[in-house]
A = this chain, B = another copy of it.
Amino acid sequence: MNMTQYNSKEEYEEYLKDQAILPAGFRCAATSLSFFPQEKKVNAPMQMNLSLLFSEDEIKSFGAVFTRNTFCGAPVSINKKRLSEPFIHGILINNKISNVCTRSGIHDAEDILSSLGDILHRPSAAFLPASTGIIGWRLPVREIKGSLPGLVQRLPDGNLLDVAKAIMTTDSFPKVRTHQTGDGRITAIAKGAGMIEPNMATMLVFILTDITISRQELRKALRRAAEESFNKISIDSDQSTSDMAVCLSSGKKECESINHFNHALTSVCKYLAEDIVRNGEGTSHVIKVIVSGTNNIHLNAGIGKAIVNSPLVKTAMFGDDPNTGRIVAAIGDYLGNNYITVNTEKMVIRMAGIEIFSNMAFTMNQEKEARLSAYLKECRLDPKIKGYPQHDKTVDIEISFGNKSARTTIIGSDLSYEYVRENADYRS
C-alpha cells in the first residue's frame, strides 16, 4: 500500500515530516527519564519515554477501541471508564513498562494523571493513560511525576514525529500517517511491533483530527476503521494486555461529508496497520492473504489468519521457500479442527498470481517453483536494516472458493531468526 520506497533513514524521515502534521487544536511533547526497576536487578538504569498529546480546549468527541485480553492493563481499565467523561484534554503515554497486573497499577496511573492535571490546571479525569512494555512491573511513579513539569514545558514546541518515536518499544521505525479531507485533517501515530494479532494486540494507536464530528459518529467510524485495518493484521498470534486505538476530535474544522471522514479514517488506519506489520519484530516478508468466495467474511478472516499465523508457513516464507504444501495444511487444519465445511473442490490458490492449487491437487512444476522462489527473494526485507521500511512489496497469496463477492484481506509477517532473537531477550 505504501507507494514510496526508501533508501535511507534520512529519506524516510523527510517523508515522515510531511506526514506528522498536528491537526488544529492539538499540542504534543515527548521526554525521557531514567529509573531502576523494583522487580529486576539491573546494572545500569533503564530508560523510559514519556509523551503527551494535549488540547487546550475540551475534547468532547473522543472514542477508543481496546484489547479483549482478560488481563488488560490498568490504562485500559481506566480508559474504559473515562469513555463516559463529558470531555478530555489529552493522553499521557509511556513506553518500557505496560502497567499490567501489579497490585498498585490503577492507583499508580491515577496518581500520575492527578499530578499532570494539577500542572495543567485541568481535572485529572480529563487525561487518558497509555502504557506499553514489560508486563507485571510497576511504573516508576516518582520518576514519571518528576518528569511531568519538563514535559509540559515542551508543549509549545512539541513535534508529533518526536512523539511517534518516543512511543516505540522494539519498533524499528516511527509510524505516522496523515490524510487531508477538505479543510480538515486526520493524523495518526502508532506503536506496535510484536504481540500483534487481529483485534488490537500490543499496539497503541493515537488518532487526532480537527474535523467536527459527534462523539457517537466518531466512535462508530473508529470501530469500523479498526475492524478493517488493525483487526486484519497479525504478526504473532498473541494479543496484548494493553492495546488501544484512541481517536480525538478537536472540532476546529468543518466536516464536509461524514462519508469522506469515514473513508479518510479507514485509509489512515489501513496504512498504519500495514506499516505496523512491515515493522514487525524481525519481519523479512510481509504476507498478504486475500480470501474470497465463501460468502462469509468471518470465515475468510479465519482462513487468512490461519495462514499468516502458521509457524510453518512463516518459516518457509522466511527461507524464500514457496512451500505451498504448508499453506494447504494450514487451511485444512483450520477447517478440520473447527468442523467447518466449505466446498474445497472449488478452492484455487494463487501466489503472485500463479496458480498453485486447484481441483484438490497442487498444480506446481519446476518452472513455477523457480518463479515463486525468485518472487519471494524479491519481496524480502532485511530485518537487520533498522530505521526505515525498505520497500512496499508484499507476498500475495489468494485463496478463492468460488465467485461469491466477499473478499477479506489479512496481512501478516514471516518468522525469522531476528524475531526469535528480539523476543528471547526483550527484557535484558
- Residues of A bordering B, CB below 8 Å: 38-41, 67-72, 98, 100-103, 105, 134-137, 194-195, 197, 199, 201, 236-241, 309-312, 315-316, 318-319, 321, 323-326, 328-333, 335-337, 344, 357, 359-362, 364-366, 369-370, 415-417, 419-421, 423-428
Contacts and interface: CB of A to CB of B under 8 A. Distances in A.
Contact of A419 (B197, B315, B324): B315
Contacts of A360: 71, 101
A311 to B, nearest CB: 4
Q: Is the interface of A mostly helix, strand, loop or mixed?
A: loop
B325 A102 contact: no
A423 B136 contact: no
A421 B315 CA distance: 8
A136 B311 contact: no
Contact of A336 (B67, B136, B309, B427): B67
A310 B238 contact: yes
A362 B237 contact: no
A70 B336 contact: yes
Copies of this chain present in the complex amount to 2
Nearest to A42: B366
Residue of A98, A237, A370, A421 contacting most chain B CB atoms (<10 Å):
A237
Nearest to A242: B329
A225 B72 CA distance: 38
A341 B67 CA distance: 16
A72 B344 CA distance: 12
A329 B195 contact: yes
Contacts of A323: 134-135, 426-427
A70 B332 contact: yes
Contact of A39 (B102, B201, B369, B427): B369
A423 B366 contact: no
A101 B241 contact: no
A220 B351 CA distance: 43
Given A71-B344, A311-B423, 7 more contacts: A69-B332, A70-B331, A103-B359, A237-B309, A239-B333, A316-B426, A415-B420
A96 B236 CA distance: 29
A426 B331 contact: no
Given A70-B344, A101-B328, A366-B39, A417 B423 contact: no
10 closest A-B pairs by beta carbon, nearest first, are A135-B325, A319-B424, A71-B332, A315-B423, A136-B362, A70-B332, A236-B311, A69-B332, A68-B336, A239-B333
A362 B136 CA distance: 6
B41 A370 contact: yes
A287 B101 CA distance: 23
A321 B357 contact: no
A319 B425 CA distance: 6
Contacts of A41: 366, 369-370
A100 B324 CA distance: 12
Nearest to A282: B420
Nearest to A356: B136
A61 to B, nearest CB: 28
B420 A318 contact: yes
A234 to B, nearest CB: 11
A318 to B, nearest CB: 5
Given A71-B329, A330-B238, A332-B69, A362 B101 contact: yes
B312 A194 contact: yes
A119 B104 CA distance: 75
B364 A136 contact: yes
A6 to B, nearest CB: 26
A325 to B, nearest CB: 2
